[in-house]
Amino acid sequence: MTPKAQKALLEQLSDPRYASPECFERAQFLWVESLGLFIASEGKNRVALFRSMRGENEVASHIPAQVQRASYPVSERLCIYRLSQIGEDDTHVAVLDGELAELITLNTIPS
């Protein structure tokens, strides 16, 4: 993509309409306030584009997005149990409040 085309795309995606619930191509982010995280659920490629253009273009200073708050349980409510190790992946179960279990895979760095 040429620099001129990148700038035109940034200007288009910087339009506040891209945060509107009615916009089919809107960016959607989850805000996990307790962890200080914004997670792109829609518009992930947009984040990379804006990040790459940030120093070159003032338009890339923000991404219009629909933001939804998400909560995350405090650490005292969570337990993680290791079930097995297969290759470089470990299989674990995350348990919330001693009742709700979810299989998770944690990738490890080979030693």
- SS3 assignment, position 80: strand
**Same domain, residue pair 58 and 87:** no
**Same domain, residue pair 27 and 60:** yes
**Same domain, residue pair 9 and 61:** yes
pTM of the model: 0.62
Residue pair 27/19 in contact (Cβ under 8 Å)? The answer is: yes
d(CA 67, CA 111): 40
pLDDT confidence band for 53 (50 / 70 / 90): confident
d(CA 62, CA 58): 9
**Same domain, residue pair 46 and 18:** yes
pLDDT at residue 88 in the model: 59
Give residue-wise pLDDT tens across range 26-51: 889 999 988 889 888 888 888 888 77
